[in-house]
């Protein structure tokens, strides 16, 4: 497989003004006839260049230019390209291809899922449908005819407006769709199947009525309300916060069972993984409800940040993904609890993204090169990309940021553009210089901020010294300093102190003079605060103002002050994590969990403090995850970390038994389920308390879990109880698992949770269970949700079992990757990620993991997806 470089970008030699597609969907094969109105691009460097069309795994039936069939001598094929040498400056290209969607297990291009036809074209799937200029900077107006058996496929959908729908002879029907907005091929979609629909409407800010439709299988009609409400909320929010109105008269969502990612923003025909659209209290956890809300909004927001203004090339992927994640995070934050949302986002970033930045696949949010673009739908492109946009928002402030986004959308509506265009719009609208800030786009790796503080009693000054650095990453040995917005406050005995900075030009003004955003831009920089009346504790990186690793040598006493008093919810939580980390580190060192009394006291106090947000209490009590600890403690001794963390949890549970029990009782409620922030918070705290109590192995607590499992009507409480039982030695666990399966065997999404809870069990013997479950009738390796729930959860979220000392789980994962490499390469390469982190672990584990990677690499027919990840991880 070859490497593609950003520096090789050239404008397309040809443009496609209009695209006419006719699909005849059959049980045996599908015929696709295309008619493309093409012309040479006046901006192309070479006006006599041959026409090169992309196409993969296609059966070519016919090819004609301006109605004349081409002879075999007039075209040739090379790799993924179909080349026609002599073409006029403007012409009509007709092409017929034949496909076998029912055999397409890659879930890319046109494929079948639960009997219906559907498509997934991003990033380069359209070339599996017909020969085309399958690149995002070629935008065309699409008209699509779909012909299919009307019994089997009564619903026929594509992008844009329905132009006609008619019955044909021989039991077929035909619909014609036209999308007036020029779009790249990756936003094309088609759906055909037997689908039920939930309808609603939305009146836009200019009074236009939009039909909203969610298409699902009949049995799922009762699970669409939350997605519909989320969609309407998202549409209103985008009008209010960004001034963006929906632009067509119809917006469709279709749910499919087999999908490689969460959802896809095809113009006016979003296709969703069922797991990201269906929700009802009995089957869906609170996290599931929140995911539906977030993904529905994310895909909707793409209508502007991605569709109306799209990417010039795939190196610019973060232009649409980073910006859209930033937008959906702000939306979720407005719909629920902002601090909880921030903590969840930072947790993902500091575990998964920091790990990616420190590993063999590290790449800037605008990569310079790739082998397989599907491998670059990463936490770096999405989550770090969103953090970079968030920093621009912090640097500009909300008003200028909005001015910048208005300018960006106005200036580039209907265009395919670059990250540079986005930054330039922000600069032009605000007048703020983002020259150095651009390093965030071109440099990979997580910057480190080493901060120290000195208080001078005599002069009443407090000096913060900040040093920044960034580790080398593949291909980037040296890094230039970043422009980092560092939000700070100084916390005194009684709360935040007023800030008087020496050299005002060094900071960004904020309304409140007790918090400042410092512009860190040099490798080493001092910030001096004047008139500081007492020795403060610095509250740093408030709200996690930049995606960096902060190092400050806090004492326990300082952390306790922050955990108790900091007005910034994120920093309060972060202090709790830091204190938990100190306890775990000391448990590792002493092989015993003798908790510091002050730590127990502060946990006791927050447990009892009913004025606090219950969700934040839950988050502050939860110790740093094993995944996060593995980012901090090197080399990673998975078993040592697990034992130490569990012993600290148990010691805390022991010390706070009564308080936990009281808190559990207090959070019990019989009210009807609602996915409100307040109810979600209460369930989260209750289930956190239960999981602590279960560590004590007392009958009365096991009974609590049993009774919660038996009597809860919502999936959040039911699954939390089941998870507690599965991870305990309770006799009831086998029966509980059996009961759960029996009750939900006809609900695939619930059965996936059943797989997952077993795959994540940290007790010995889980690999055996996982292997057995792979033979369970409900498991299907062709379905990505099931693969993720069972194999993905076991290998990615069950450290102690995945890293069993005999290396059996490494072997297991490599076997599954080799199997999936043939059927679904995108899923294979994603599944593989835990093995690629081999360098972090103890030497014995490293050796075993390395051997499995080599075994994968020696496979003769490796997909480009798997090849790229394995070969880079061995370099
Ligand atoms: N923009 C969508 C990307 C996507 C995708 C990419 C590769 C392979 C399969 C895929 N399905 C969807 C998702 C999004 O960010 O909205
Ligand atoms: Zn997206």
Burial of 2 (0-12, 13-18, 19+ CB in 10 A): exposed
- Give the tens place of pLDDT for each residue, 556-585: 999 999 999 999 999 999 999 999 999 999
In short, whether 826's Cβ falls inside 6 Å of ligand 1 is: yes
CB atoms within 10 A of CB 651: 19
- Tokens 């004047």, residue? 530
Please give the distance, rounded to the nearest whole angstrom, from the Cα atom of residue 158 to the centre of ligand 2.
20
Distance of CA 64 to the CA centre of its chain: 43
CB distance 298 to ligand 1 below 6 Å: yes
Q: Is the pLDDT of residue 505 over 90?
A: no
Residue 731 inside a domain? The answer is no
Distance between CA 785 and CA 157 in Å, rounded?
24
Half-sphere exposure of 452 (CA within 13 A, CB side): 3
Residues in the chain, overall count = 875
pLDDT at 616 over 80: yes
- The pLDDT tens digits of the residues spanning 25-55 come to 999 999 999 999 999 999 999 999 999 999 9
For residues 22 and 119, state if they share a domain. yes
Mutate to test the pocket of ligand 1, among 187, 188, 263, 374 (most ligand atoms within 8 A of CB): 263
What is the arithmetic mean of pLDDT over 93-106?
98
Q: Which SS3 state, helix, strand or coil, does residue 504 take?
A: helix
CA 321 to centroid of ligand 2, rounded, Å: 5
Ligand nearest the Cα of residue 323 is 2
What is the C-alpha separation between 254 and 274, in angstroms, rounded? 9
Q: Which of 226-230, 441-445, 497-501 has the lowest mean pLDDT?
A: 497-501
Q: How confident is the model at residue 326 (pLDDT cuts 50, 70, 90)?
A: very high
| CB distance 122 to ligand 1 below 6 Å | yes
Q: Is the CB of 394 under 6 A from ligand 1?
A: no
Compute φ and ψ for 89, nearest 5 degrees. Answer: -75, -20
Å from CA of 264 to ligand 1 middle: 5
Q: What percent of the chain has pLDDT over 70?
A: 99
- Looking at the structure of the chain, the number of domains it has is 5
Q: Quick check: 511 pLDDT over 90?
A: no
175 shares its domain with 226: no
What pLDDT is stored for residue 506 in this prediction? 45
| 230 and 180 together in one domain | no
SS3 assignment, position 589: helix
Are 836 and 786 part of one and the same domain?
yes
**Residue ranges making up the domain that contains 438:** 310-442
Q: Ligand 1 pocket, 581 CB below 6 A?
A: no
- Nearest ligand for residue 305 CA: 2
Q: What is the pLDDT of residues 158-170, one digit of tens each?
A: 999 999 999 998 9
User: What mean pLDDT comes out for the span 177-204?
Assistant: 98
Residue 10 shares a structural domain with residue 135 = yes
Q: What's the rounded mean pLDDT across residues 458-471?
A: 98
Mean predicted confidence (pLDDT) in 622-636: 96
Q: Could you tell me the distance, in angstroms and rounded to a whole number, from the CA of residue 734 to the centre of ligand 1?
A: 38
CATH of the domain at 219: 3.30.2010.30
Q: Would you say the CB of residue 321 lies under 6 angstroms from ligand 1? A: yes
- Check residue 169 and give its pLDDT: 84
R_g over Cα of the chain: 28
pLDDT tens digits along 784-833 = 999 999 999 999 999 999 999 999 999 999 999 999 999 999 999 999 99
Instruction: Give me the CATH number covering residue 831.
Output: 1.25.50.10
| CB-count exposure of residue 197 (10 Å: 0-12, 13-18, 19+) | middle
Minimal-distance CA residue to ligand 1 atom 13: 264
Residue 347 lies in a domain: yes
Selected catalytic residue, list 145, 299, 515, 852: 299
Does some domain include residue 602? no
Report whether pLDDT(421) > 80. yes
Written as six digits, the tokens of 668 are: 């019990």
The whole-chain average pLDDT of the chain stands at: 97
Provide the CATH number for the domain around residue 503.
2.60.40.1840
- Compute, in angstroms, the gap from residue 382 CA to the centroid of ligand 2: 8
CATH code, 421: 1.10.390.10
Is position 103 within any domain? Answer: yes
Mean pLDDT of 74-85: 96
Q: Is 124 in the pocket of ligand 1 (CB under 6 A)?
A: no
pTM of the model: 0.98
Both 143 and 40 in a single domain?
A: yes
What mean pLDDT comes out for the span 846-857?
98
The residue whose C-alpha atom lies closest to atom 12 belonging to ligand 1 is 264
Q: Which among 518, 395, 394 has a CA at the least distance from the CA of 465?
A: 518
- In angstroms, the CA 341 to CA 334 distance is 10
Alpha helix ranges (H) inside 591-637? 597-608, 614-621, 626-632
d(CA 853, CA 861): 15
Residue 667 lies in a domain: no
Q: Is the same domain home to 418 and 511? A: no
Q: Which of 415, 442, 469 is the last residue of a domain?
A: 442
H or E segment and range at residue 485: strand 484-492
- Kindly report each contact of residues 813-821 with a partner whose C-beta sits within 8 Å and lies 24 or more positions away, as own/partner: 813/852, 814/852, 814/853, 814/855, 814/856, 816/781, 816/787, 816/791, 817/856, 817/866, 818/856, 818/859, 819/781, 820/781, 820/787, 821/856, 821/859, 821/861, 821/862, 821/863, 821/865, 821/866
27 is catalytic: no
Atom index in ligand 1 nearest the CA of residue 265 equals 16
- 66 plus 153 within the same structural domain: yes
Same domain, 225 and 331: no
Which atom of ligand 1 is least distant from the CA of 259? 11
What are the CA-CA distances from residue 330 to residues 235, 339, 444, 808 (Å)?
A: 14, 11, 25, 43
Q: Is the CB of 325 under 6 A from ligand 1?
A: no
Question: Which element (helix H / strand E) includes 864?
Answer: helix 864-874
Mutational test site, ligand 1, from 118, 128, 264, 785, max ligand atoms within 8 Å of CB: 264
CA–CA dist 175, 252 (Å, integer): 16
- Are 83 and 146 contained in the same domain? yes
pLDDT tens digits along 119-144: 999 999 999 999 999 999 999 999 99
pLDDT band with cut points at 50, 70 and 90 for residue 508: low
Task: Let me know if residue 289 belongs to a domain.
Answer: no
The predicted-structure confidence for 264-309, as pLDDT tens digits, reads as follows 999 999 999 999 999 999 999 999 999 999 999 999 999 999 999 9
pLDDT tens per residue across span 399-417: 999 999 999 999 999 999 9
Residue ending a domain, among 194, 221, 238, is 194
Please report the atom of ligand 1 found closest to the CA of residue 826.
Answer: 8
Complex ipTM:
0.99
Residue 101 forms part of a structural domain: yes
pLDDT at 336 over 70: yes
Residue nearest to atom 6 of ligand 1 (CA): 122
Q: Report whether residue 120 contacts ligand 1, using a CB cutoff of 6 Å.
A: yes
**Residue of the CA atom closest to atom 11 of ligand 1:** 261
Domain check: are 414 and 477 in the same one? no
* Residue where a domain terminates, one of 514, 543, 572: 543
The pLDDT of residue 502 is 82
**Nearest alpha carbon, ligand 1 atom 7:** 374
Q: Is residue 328 part of a domain?
A: yes
Same domain, 864 and 762: yes
* Pocket of ligand 1 contains residue 123 by CB under 6 Å: yes
């Amino acid at each position: 497989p070859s490497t593609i470089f950003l520096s090789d970008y050239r404008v397309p030699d040809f443009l496609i003004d209009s695209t006419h597609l006719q699909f005849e969907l059959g049980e045996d094969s599908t015929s696709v006839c295309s008619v493309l109105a093409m012309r040479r691009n006046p901006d192309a460097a070479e006006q006599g260049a041959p026409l090169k069309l992309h196409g993969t795994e296609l059966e070519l039936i016919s090819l004609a230019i301006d109605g004349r069939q081409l002879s075999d001598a007039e075209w040739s094929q090379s790799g993924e390209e179909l080349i026609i040498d002599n073409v006029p400056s403007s012409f009509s290209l007709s092409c017929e291809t034949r496909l076998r969607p029912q055999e397409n297990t890659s879930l890319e291009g046109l494929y079948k899922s639960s009997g219906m036809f559907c498509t997934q074209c991003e990033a380069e799937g359209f070339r599996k449908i017909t020969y085309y200029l399958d690149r995002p900077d070629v935008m065309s107006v699409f008209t699509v005819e779909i012909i299919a058996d009307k019994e089997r496929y009564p619903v026929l959908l594509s992008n844009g407006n329905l132009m006609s729908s008619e019955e044909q002879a021989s039991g077929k029907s035909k619909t014609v769709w036209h999308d007036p907005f020029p779009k790249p091929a990756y936003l094309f979609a088609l759906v055909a199947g037997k689908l039920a629909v939930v309808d609603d409407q939305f009146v836009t800010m200019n009074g236009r009525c939009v039909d909203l439709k969610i298409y699902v299988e009949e049995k799922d009609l009762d699970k669409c309300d939350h997605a519909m409400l989320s969609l309407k909320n998202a549409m209103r929010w985008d009008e209010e916060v960004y001034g963006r109105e929906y632009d067509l008269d119809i917006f469709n969502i279709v749910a499919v069972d087999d999908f490689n990612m969460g959802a896809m923003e095809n113009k006016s025909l979003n296709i969703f993984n069922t797991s990201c659209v269906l929700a009802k209290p009995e089957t869906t956890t609170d996290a599931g409800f929140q995911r539906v809300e977030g993904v529905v909004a994310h895909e909707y927001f793409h209508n502007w940040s991605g569709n109306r203004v799209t990417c010039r090339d795939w190196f610019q992927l973060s232009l649409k993904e980073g910006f859209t994640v930033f937008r959906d995070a702000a939306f979720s934050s407005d719909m629920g609890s902002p601090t909880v949302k921030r903590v969840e986002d930072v947790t993902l970033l500091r575990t998964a993204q920091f790990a990616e930045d420190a590993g063999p696949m590290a790449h800037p949010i605008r990569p310079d090169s790739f082998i397989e673009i599907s491998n670059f739908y990463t936490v770096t492109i999405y989550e770090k990309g969103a953090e970079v946009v968030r920093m621009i928002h912090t640097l500009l402030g909300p008003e200028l940021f909005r001015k910048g986004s208005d300018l960006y959308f106005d200036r580039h509506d209907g265009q395919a553009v670059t990250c540079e265009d986005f930054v330039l719009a922000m600069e032009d609208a605000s007048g703020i210089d983002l020259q150095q800030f651009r390093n965030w786009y071109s440099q990979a790796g997580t910057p480190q901020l080493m901060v120290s503080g000195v208080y001078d009693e005599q002069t009443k000054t407090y000096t913060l010294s900040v040093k920044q650095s960034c580790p080398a990453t593949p291909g980037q040995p040296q890094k230039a300093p970043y422009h980092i917005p560092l939000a700070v406050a100084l916390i005194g005995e009684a709360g935040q102190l007023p800030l008087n900075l020496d050299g005002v030009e060094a900071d960004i003004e904020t309304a409140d003079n007790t918090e400042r955003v410092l512009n860190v831009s040099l490798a080493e920089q001092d910030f001096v605060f004047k008139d500081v009346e007492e020795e403060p504790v610095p509250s740093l990186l408030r709200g996690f103002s930049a995606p960096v690793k902060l190092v400050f040598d806090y004492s326990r006493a300082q952390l306790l002050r922050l955990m108790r008093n900091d007005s910034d919810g994120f920093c309060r939580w972060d202090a709790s994590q830091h204190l938990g980390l100190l306890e775990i580190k000391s448990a590792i060192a002493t092989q015993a969990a003798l908790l510091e009394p002050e730590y127990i006291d502060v946990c006791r106090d927050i447990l009892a403090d009913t004025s606090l947000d219950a969700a934040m209490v839950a988050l502050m009590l939860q110790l740093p995850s094993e995944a996060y600890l593995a980012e901090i403690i090197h080399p990673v001794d998975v078993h040592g970390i697990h034992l130490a963390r569990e012993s600290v949890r148990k010691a805390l549970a022991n010390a706070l038994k009564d308080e936990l029990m009281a808190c559990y009782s207090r959070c019990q409620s019989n009210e009807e389920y609602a996915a409100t922030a307040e109810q979600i918070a209460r369930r989260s705290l209750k289930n956190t308390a239960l999981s602590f109590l279960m560590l004590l192995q007392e009958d009365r607590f096991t009974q609590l879990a049993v009774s919660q499992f038996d009597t809860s009507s919502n999936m959040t409480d039911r699954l939390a109880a089941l998870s507690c039982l599965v991870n305990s030695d309770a006799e009831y666990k086998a029966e509980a698992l059996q009961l759960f399966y029996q009750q939900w065997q006809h609900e695939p999404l619930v059965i996936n949770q059943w797989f997952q809870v077993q795959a994540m069990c940290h007790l010995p013997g889980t690999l055996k269970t996982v292997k057995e479950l792979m033979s369970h009738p409900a498991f299907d390796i062709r379905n990505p949700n099931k693969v993720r729930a069972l194999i993905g959860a076991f290998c990615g979220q069950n450290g102690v079992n995945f890293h069993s000392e005999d290396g059996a789980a490494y072997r297991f994962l490599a076997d599954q990757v080799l199997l999936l490499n043939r059927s679904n390469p995108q899923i294979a390469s994603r599944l593989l990620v835990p093995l690629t982190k081999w360098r972090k672990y103890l030497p014995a584990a490293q050796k075993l993991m390395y051997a499995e990677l080599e075994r994968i690499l020696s496979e003769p027919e490796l997909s480009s997806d798997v090849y790229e990840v394995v070969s880079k991880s061995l370099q």
